[in-house]
Every structure is written in C-alpha cells, then in structure tokens.
Chain A
Amino acid sequence: MTLLARHAENLFWIGRFVERAETVARLLEVGSRNSLLPNSSGGFRNEWESVLQASGTAGQFEAKYAADMRERNVESFLFFDADNPSSVASCIGSARENARIVRTALTSQTWDALNTAYQEMQELKRTERSKLSTNDLIDWTLRTGALIRGTIEDTQLRIDGYDFLNIGHYLERADSTARLLDVKYFVLLPQVDFVGTGLDNYQWRTILRALSAHRAFNWAYGGEITAAKIADFLILNRRAPRSLITCAEEACWHLDRLARGYEQTTEAQTQARNLVAKLSGIGVEDIFDEGLHEFLTRSIGEISQLSAVISEVYLIGEAR
C-alpha cells in the first residue's frame, strides 16, 4: 500500500505533536519545582521566564499577558491556551487533527488513543480550574503521551507510516532534550556565580526529574550531580532513552528502514548518519569547550535541518 506524501507528513507531525505536548508538560514541571525555591537566583519571575524562553514562546506570552508572570498565567498559557500553538491543548488538538486526516494509516487503537486524549482535554478545559492542580495536569499529559506511544508501538503495522511516526517522535524528542537542558542556561544567565552551589544542584536535579531521569541518573552515575555528568547523560549516553545520541540513532534507524523498503538511499539518510557520527565522536569536555549553550543551539539547528531534508525528500512528494 502506497503512502501519500501528505499523509506521511501528517504521521510525522503526529509523532512530533505528541512528544511536544509532553515536553511542555515537563517544562511546566521544571518551572513549578524551581519556583518552590527561595527567591535567590533572580526571583520567582526568573524561573518561569526561563521555562518560556526554553519553550521558545516567551514573546507570545508577553504579547498576551504583558509579562505578568504569575504561575497561573504561565500554566494557562502553556497548558490550555489555544492561541499558543505549542500549548499542551494545541499539541493534542493538532495531533488528533492530523490523525483525523490520516485515519486510514492508523490502527483503530491508535486513533482511539489520540481521540480519547482529545476528548479528555475537552473535558479538562470545561473543568473548573480550582479543581485542577498543576501536578494533575502534568501527570495527565505524561500518562496520555505514554498511552499513545505505547499504542503506536503495540499496534501499528511496521510499514513506512510507522517509520514516519517515529522519525517525527525522535526528532522532536532530541529537540526537546536540548531545549530542557538549555533551561539551565536561561536560569543561570543573570548570575554565573551560582555554579556548583546547592541551588545549582537543585536546578539540575529538577531537570533530571522533568525528564523522568533522576533515578536513572543516580543508578548510572551516582554521587554528586555535576554539569559534566548531566551533559554526558542527556547528550552522549546511549543508555539514556532521551539523550541526543539515542534520539539521533533511533531516527537514523527508521530512516534506514525507509531506504531499505523504498530501495533508495537519499540525502536524509546521509545527514542522519552524519549527526550520529558527530555525537559519537565527541566527549563531554568538547561540549564544554564549545560552551553548553552554544553546543545545544547548534544541535537544535542541526536537528531542524535534518527535519527540513526529510520533508524535502519524502513529505513534499515532488516527482523524483
């Protein structure tokens, strides 16, 4: 069964939107935990601003709330806001709309998982806000994401459509890990002297927690939390399910499957392999030599470039 280029794009975006919804929920968690700390690193305002900066939506937030960075506003903006295309509600809505378009390529279980998520979100929107805690919203999003992912893994046929779902998923996840790591950069930006202090550790720990990786980290590294260990874990460790290198390898693996199925290798496979090779060939000290923020910014650029090539090669469907 042939796959329409436009439908492959829908699948790719389902993968991306589901992961993006999770990322936003994880960012909310980072913000909410960081803000529980005493006002010492630039203040309450700073915690939330860093979250908005990392999600790339600070400008939109400001336009809407004129920098009134109350927790409730940020939460509304990141979770419910229909005007924010990256809010959890928007992501779930977009994932479900893409699924509706491409129903024919999804199993009924996958459709069911996505549609149910959407219906539940409608229900949450109708619920009085005082009855919803931030933690409930975050938990719901992570649980929903896991359910959708699990259904995809469990029920989708292993054909090209499955690969596009996963390529979208892993590229978005790579992007998300890079952005979450970068939150640290924004949080610390005002006062560099905090490096290595208790507060510093607390913030790192929060990021690990947001990535559901704090226990895995302890198990893998143990002892003191240092920036170097964290960077190694979230960027270069193949055992970490969200590390950049894991995401790049998974995306590469699915691209290779496509090339085998279509009996044609393209620029997309070449670029994906280059990305994996680059990440395999460096150590954590190279990252800090370049500067963590600079490295992450560059990585985000490379991921988006790979995404553009995939789009060019597979999702536009120009005569080849």
Chain B
Amino acid sequence: MLEKPIYFNEMGMDGAVRPPYAGLDTWAANMPEEFRNTKQSEAEALFRRIGITFAVYGEGGDPDRLIPFDMFPRIFAADEWRKLDLGVKQRAKALNAFLLDVYGRGEIVKAGKIPGRLVYQNEAYEKAVVGIKPPRGVYSHIVGVDLVRTGPDEFFVLEDNCRTPSGVSYMLENREIMMRMFPQLFRQNRIAPVENYPALLRRTLDSVAPEKCEGAPTVAILTPGHFNSAYYEHSFLADMMGVALVEGQDLFVKGDFCYMRTTEGPKKVDVIYRRIDDAYIDPLCFRPDSMLGVPGLMNVYRSGGVAIASAPGAGVADDKAIYTFVPEMIRFYLGEEPILNNVPTWQCGKPDDLKYVLENLKDLVVKEVHGSGGYGMLVGPRSTKEQIDIFYAKIVENPGNYIAQPTLALSTCPTFVEEGIAPRHVDLRPYCLVGENIELVPGGLTRVALTEGSLVVNSSQGGGVKDTWVMAE
C-alpha cells in the first residue's frame, strides 16, 4: 500500500468508460467551453442567491464565500450502492449499540474488547449521562460516515461522525441545482432521488420523542446562531422540516420541561436537534461560561422531559482512538463481519506503533485524535522536510494525541478544470438516520480536492463539492 499509488479513476481507465458513467463522458466532452462557463456562473449565481455559503474557521475574509461546485456528477451503480448502504447502516447500528453499552453496563470493556481507559478516560465520554437511557436507546441519530474508494470494490471508512455531521444541505442543494441546470441528464439517466431526506429526518426525530410527550412532538433545531459557519444548513433543515430554529436564549427550563419563547408565550419542546457541542449545551452541567446553552436543559433531558439528538456523550463513539475498534464493535454487538473496512491505523500512544510512525512519517497521514476539518493534519508524501520535522516534534511531545494511517490511493472522478476535464480525488459522506428505523438516502456529499494531485478534500482547505448520483435499480 505504500508504493507509489495508482489511482482508481471512477469513470474508467485507459479510455474504457465504466457503466455508471456511460454517456456522461460524451456529455462533458461535447460541452462547448462557452456553454460550460455560462452554466458554471449560473450555478454560482444560484448558490449565492439561495445564500448557501461557507465561512472558513479563523480565516476571516469573505463570510459569504461559496464552496466551489463542480458540475460533473459523481456516480454509483445500483449494486455498488447496495454494499455501501448495508455497510453504513451496519456501522451506524454498531456505534449506537456501543454508546448504549458504555453508558450502561460496559459489557464490551468487561469482555476485554476495548481498553476501558480509551473509553472512560476519553474527553468525549460524559460522566453526566451515565445510566441515562435515551428514548429508543439511540444516541447518535445522524451518523455521517466518511468513505474513500481505492478500487472497483474497495471502500474504506476514514472516520465516523456521530455528533452533528454537517454538509447534508449541500447534498440536497447540489441535486436541486443540477436538476435545474441539466434537466435532460435526469431524463436520460434514472437517478435515485434524495429529496425526502428532510422528511426522513423529521420522522426520525419525531420517533425519539420522550415517553412524557403526549401527542405530536414539538421539534426544534438548536443553533449556536447566525454567525456559525453552518447556520445556512441549520435554517435550511428547519425550513424543510417545518420546525423552529432556536438559539439557547429562546429556550428556558421550567419544572420538568423545556419551553421556547414564542410570541404567544411559552411552548413546550419535546425533541431538540442540537447543532452545538456538548460542552455548551447547559452551563449548569458542562462549561459554566457557556452563553449558547440552556441552563437546566441537561436535568430536563436526564429526567426524561426532552430528547436531545444527538444525545450528549455520543462523541465518544467517533473519537479517532475508538475508530480502530469499530470492526470489533460490529462483531461484538451484531455478530456480523464488517462490510466496510477500516483504514489500518497506528495509535501513536502505543510504543510499537509510535516507533513505526516516526520512522515512516514521509509516507503516512497523521491526524490529531480530536482534530477535525483537515486541521492539525500531516500528509507525509505531500509535505516538506521542514513540515515533517515539526510534526515529528509534536508527536514525540504528546504521542497519545495522534494517530497515523497509510496514504490511501483515493479514487478520482472526472472534474471540470480550467484545461477541460481532469481526474481529481474525491471522498463521500452519506448520512445515516437512526430512530425507530435505520434509513439511508441513496446519495451523500461528495467532496473533491480541486488542486491537482491534492488528497485533502476539506472545504476549509480549498475542496469543492459535487452532486452524487446513485443509479436507480
């Protein structure tokens, strides 16, 4: 795996076009440059008009920056998707079983399958919710599984996102814009729809209302506010689901329940889809200085007056140190073999692994255990000696904070670039919903590294997005 990688091109190699892309090659090749440019600016204008923009953390600059949208779709055949569908659902199920277990009896630790210190000493493990069983035993209601592909039949899970994976609004808006710009493509190809995602999310949230809730549950999305880079998504989802979009200041606790301040007075809230971190949910339970949260909310949650999605404490399942053990979880809780593989991972906290990692830094990808968004990450083969030396020192100082993985030969997908069409590396994040049922819409967010040769697809690092098609059966 460490030799010079040969990348799998999803459209096909050496001129042969793989079936799902049939027709698209000529569509793209025959597109006059002028037409393409018109369409590209049309897409941009549409994105800007609907206000779907993205602010990059800590970079300042234009808060209304657009994530570049590439018009060339990323396509899966029906049978390719079937495997992903089963694999992602299997994972989401196991992760939830794990959470229910480690906040309950801790069987997996007692059985010696995962070291207790990795789980219980983990920053994301919340002592405050031990012994609290959330409705239907679900902790992570929206599981975003980040996948990469390395061959026709090879998929790897890069990481799981059990807290509040973002980006689903792009999945929906990318499709909306493609359908508007290229209706003929959708007539010619049978592409599975994704637009019922908000309805499924609403159903999922309704299904986890607490027992104390009588009648139709009132659902609200809790956002940190309109300065948050994902605010568009929060308001988009609230709108599509027909639920209130609240900030901490809109909610208050009274007796056994939580209420929102409306123009008609207080209204009880039964399910909160929160898009803020655990630490900020409730200053009476977590960070005392939080201004974003609701004082007393955790007490209402723990006494069964409100459901919170994702449940506080869900983060312990998507920690990069726990990631290594997900295949083990699948076997332990489901008695099944994992359908999707993990990327081989070295834990720098283990002496043997550390030794290997330090000796092979130039070939590896090194990540911070708690990092996200492509920050604090080293891509060995694409780094200078200086950058590698700096990381070397960081790892030595705090080995437990790092994991390393081989540089994967990420698949490429044809992408419109200045010179025409060229392969660029892509990944995929499908969004799995867990409530009364486990659901996965056929699609997801495809991120693309627009710079030639780059393997970093994060939008905060210059990545773009594509519409993701799953061909209907």
Contact = CB atoms under 8 A, between A and B. Distances in A.
A104 B238 CA distance: 7
A262 B262 CA distance: 11
Contact of A6 (B48, B259, B261, B264): B261
Contact of B239 (A3, A8, A100, A103): A103
A1 B50 CA distance: 23
Contacts of B231: 100
Contacts of A262: 263-264
Interface residues of B, number: 28
Interface range, A side: 20 to 34
Given A115-B51, A119-B48, A319-B254, A4 B260 contact: yes
Q: Which 3 A-B pairs have the closest CB atoms?
A: A317-B261, A103-B235, A104-B239
A160 B254 CA distance: 26
Contacts of A5: 250, 261-263
A81 interface: no
Interface in A1-50: 1-8
A160 B263 CA distance: 9
B49 A4 contact: no
Contacts of A8: 263
B261 A318 contact: yes
B371 interface: no
Contact of B49 (A97, A100, A115, A317): A115
A71 interface: no
Contacts of A111: 51
Interface stretch (B98-106, B241-249, B318-326): B241-249
Given A3-B263, A101-B235, 7 more contacts: A2-B260, A5-B263, A6-B247, A104-B235, A164-B263, A262-B263, A317-B261
A144 to B, nearest CB: 15
Interface centre among A6, A97, A262, A317 (most CB of B within 10 A): A317
B298 to A, nearest CB: 21
Interface centre among B235, B260, B264 (most CB of A within 10 A): B264
A116 interface: yes
A307 B3 CA distance: 71
A104 B236 CA distance: 7
B263 A1 contact: no
B109 to A, nearest CB: 43
Interface in B267-308: 267
A315 B260 CA distance: 13
B131 interface: no
Contacts of B48: 115, 119
Contacts of B250: 4-6, 317
B58 interface: no
A97 B266 contact: no
Contacts of B238: 104
B212 interface: no
The interface residues of chain B, by DSSP majority, are classed as mixed
Contacts of B239: 103-104
B261 A112 contact: no
A314 interface: yes
B183 interface: no
A320 interface: yes
18 contacts: A2-B244, A2-B260, A2-B262, A2-B264, A2-B267, A4-B244, A4-B245, A4-B263, A5-B263, A6-B250, A100-B231, A101-B226, A111-B51, A258-B263, A318-B261, A319-B254, A319-B266, A320-B265
Given A6-B247, A319-B254, A112 B235 contact: no
A100 B254 contact: no
Contacts of B267: 2
Nearest to B245: A104
A97 B225 CA distance: 12
Nearest to A99: B51
Contacts of A115: 48-49, 51
Nearest to A6: B250
B51 A103 contact: yes
A101 B250 CA distance: 13
Contacts of B50: 108
A14 to B, nearest CB: 14
Contact of B249 (A6, A116, A258): A6
Contacts of A320: 265
A3 B261 contact: no
Interface in A97-139: 97, 100-101, 103-104, 108, 111-112, 115-116, 119
Contact of A319 (B51, B246, B249, B265): B265
Interface string B218-240: 00000000100001000110110
A4 B235 contact: no
Contacts of B260: 2, 4
Nearest to B237: A104
A241 B397 CA distance: 72
Nearest to B235: A103
Nearest to A119: B48
A318 B261 CA distance: 7
A3 B250 CA distance: 11
Nearest to B221: A104
Contacts of A4: 244-246, 250, 260-263
A8 B261 CA distance: 11
Contact of A97 (B226, B244, B261, B264): B226
A258 B48 CA distance: 34
Contacts of B236: 103
Nearest to A264: B264
Contacts of A314: 263
A317 B254 contact: no
Nearest to A2: B262
Contacts of A315: 263
Contacts of B263: 2-5, 8, 160, 164, 258, 262, 314-315, 317
A320 B226 CA distance: 27
Interface string B31-66: 000000000000000001111000000000000000
Contacts of B261: 4-6, 316-319
Nearest to B51: A115
A264 B261 CA distance: 16
A60 B283 CA distance: 39
A108 B176 CA distance: 14
Contacts of B246: 4
Interface string B439-458: 00000000000000000000
Contacts of A108: 50
Given A101-B226, A319-B265, A116 B49 contact: yes
A2 B238 CA distance: 13
A100 B223 CA distance: 13
Given A314-B263, A317-B250, A317-B263, A1 B51 contact: no
Contacts of B264: 2-3, 262, 264
A116 B45 CA distance: 10
